Amino acid sequence: MRGTRESVLAFWKAMETNDFRAASLNLAPDFRLEWPQSGEAIEGRENFAALNAAYPAKGLWRFTVRRFVSEGDDAVTDVAVTDGDVKATALTFHTIRGGLIARQVEYWPDPYEAPAWRAQWVTRMGGG
Topology of the domain comprising 4-109: Nuclear Transport Factor 2; Chain: A, (3.10.450)
Q: Give the pLDDT score at 125.
A: 86
What is this structure's pTM? 0.91
Using CA atoms, how far residue 102 sits from 54, 57, 96, 125, in Å, is 22, 26, 6, 35
- Residue 9 pLDDT > 80, yes or no? yes
Q: pLDDT tens digit string along 14-72?
A: 999 999 999 999 999 999 999 999 999 999 999 999 999 999 999 999 999 999 999 99
**pLDDT band at residue 128, thresholds of 50, 70 and 90?**
very low
Q: Where are the domains of the chain?
A: 4-109
